[in-house]
Amino acid sequence: MPERPRLPFDPVERAGELWESHFGDATAMRLATSVMRVQQLLLAELDAALKPYAITFARYEVLVLLTFSQAGTLPLSKIGERLMVHPTSVTNAIDRLEAQGLVLRQTDPSDRRRTLASLTPAGRELVIEATAALTAIDFAVDGLTAREQDDAFALLRRLRSAAGDFPEKAPERSVSG
């Protein structure tokens, strides 16, 4: 984050004051606008930390997801589902990662209609290096204590669940016996 403020006032707070004079309660508008601005700030700082590795945060997420998979391989459709992005975005990310030699694209031998992305040794190495760079900047959330980070995560998780990303509580699994 910058050492000196970009503006001498908080533009979201000022927008809130104006909102209230024109439309009424600004609570939800201020929160939504703040979340959107924080997303811009985080993404800019994360992408800057990843620039030496010639990847964006979006491509880093693909590499990490492949790292977390048991075999280092996932169908492109599963990548899109897990990252909650459009198939075109996955294809674009895989195209770029493949051009860099970080992933390998292949047809699924068990279902030729599916395309798989596999992490290459260079991709595994880059994930380790890039992760070190991101953890060195505390994923750009160094303005909050660990407790505040946990609290913010919990609040944002509730918003994501309410929007339908996932059920708030995992459904109980039936035990067959």
Half-sphere exposure of 121 (CA within 13 A, CB side): 0
User: The sheet that has 103-107: what strands, in order across it?
Assistant: 73-75, 115-119, 103-107
pLDDT at 176 over 50: no
Q: Please, which residues have CB within 8 angstroms of residue 71's CB and are 6 or more apart in sequence? A: 118
pLDDT at 48 over 60: yes
Q: The tokens of 61 are what? A: 């997420």
Condensed to tens digits (0 to 9), the pLDDT of residues 65-96 reads 999 999 999 999 999 999 999 999 999 999 99
Confidence of residue 169 (pLDDT cuts 50, 70, 90): confident
pLDDT of residue 139: 97
Sequence length of the chain is 177
What does R_g of the chain's alpha carbons equal in angstroms?
Answer: 20
Q: State the Cα–Cα distance between residues 79 and 41, nearest whole angstrom.
A: 25
pLDDT of residue 172: 59
pLDDT of residue 6: 86
- DSSP 8-state symbol, 10: -
Q: Where are the domains of the chain?
A: 11-156
Mean pLDDT for the stretch of residues 38-52: 97
Percent of the chain clearing pLDDT 90 (strictly above): 86
CATH fold group of domain 11-156: Arc Repressor Mutant, subunit A (1.10.10)
Q: Is 148 exposed, middle or buried (0-12, 13-18, 19+ CB in 10 A)?
A: exposed
Q: Which residues pair with 118 in a beta bridge?
A: 73, 104
Condensed to tens digits (0 to 9), the pLDDT of residues 121-159 reads 999 999 999 999 999 999 999 889 999 999 999 999 999
